[in-house]
Chains A and B, each alone.
Chain A
Amino acid sequence: MLNRLDEMLNFHTQALRVRDQRQQVLASNIANADTPHYKARDLDFKTALQGALQGTQTGGTALATTAPGHLAGKAGGSDAGLLYRTPAQGSVDGNTVDVDAERAAFAENAIQYEFNLTRLNQQIKGLLAAIQG
């Protein structure tokens, strides 16, 4: 029973986590709009969500340890799965942030986050209604 509950809520929970991560990446882009040589980044929501649903962390690969002395290692760090944005217009200081595009993406992602949140809420309410009758 609990297993089924988990399965039911899993999709939107994972989607929320990916939205959460993407929101953070977009926030970093907007924050660094004036930083020279900063390259704007983003993640591909579809592949990130598929990775999250399959239980693999976005793009991360574990290092194979064949002897007890081997260190586990942190493959790719946290920016695994992050891609670089192709700038629409170049700038002299090497910064590739297009603030308008980033803000649009930020707002869009916020609404998608809210959507996932609302759906999750509805699912919980539905379950509660079924339990309480």
Chain B
Amino acid sequence: MSLFNIFNVAGSAMNAQSQRLNTVASNLANADSATSANGQPYKAKQVVFAAAPVGDNGATGVNVAAVIDDPSPMKTVYDPKNPLADDKGYVTMPNVNVVEEMVNMISASRSYQSNVEMMNTTKTLLLKTLNLGS
């Protein structure tokens, strides 16, 4: 019954999407963190998805291959009163793009939703198959 495999496929995708949502949450929460434990401003994180085979029937799930630091340049804000400002009065701020993160969030939650619906459909089919002949 390869229908059971759909639970693994959809489950792996839901796992990956929720990790993406987590990353978005931490990016949005730290959009203004000009300093952190290591003294550096927060760097936006992005997840990298990769297709991963599930079972031996050719089904493909998703896993998170890596969580990378966003390579986009850091923002600089002119604020000479800030204790973190350099000698020219500029403060380096995190490279979090709030609009991009919001888009990411909506996309992740919609994808998560599709996977949940897929699981529901599969569940119904399996339950009906169990009733075969009765």
> In the assembled complex, which residues on chain B have CB atoms less than 8 Å from the CB atom of A34?
17, 20, 49, 62, 107-108, 111
Q: Is B133 an interface residue (CB 8 A)?
A: yes
Q: Is B121 an interface residue (CB 8 A)?
A: yes
> In the assembled complex, which residues on chain B have CB atoms less than 8 Å from the CB atom of A103?
114, 117
Per-residue A-contact encoding for B34-75, CB less than 8 Å = 1, 0 else: 000000000000001111001011111110000000000000
Docked CA distance A21–B118 (Å): 15
Q: Which of A23-31, A48-56, A63-71, A84-92 contacts B (4 or more CB under 8 A)?
A: A23-31
Given A20-B3, A23-B6, does the pair A38, B60 have CB atoms closer than 8 Å? yes
Docked CA distance A94–B44 (Å): 24
Per the CB 8 Å criterion, the residue count for chain B at the interface is 38
> In the assembled complex, which residues on chain A have CB atoms less than 8 Å from the CB atom of B5?
24, 27
- Additional 16 contacts, C-beta under 8 A, given A24-B3, A35-B51: A20-B1, A20-B2, A23-B3, A23-B6, A24-B59, A27-B5, A27-B9, A27-B10, A28-B58, A30-B13, A32-B51, A35-B49, A36-B49, A38-B60, A77-B58, A107-B121
On B, residues with C-beta under 8 Å from A are 1-3, 5-6, 9-10, 12-13, 17, 20, 48-51, 54, 56-62, 107-108, 111, 114-115, 117-118, 121-122, 124-125, 128-129, 132-133
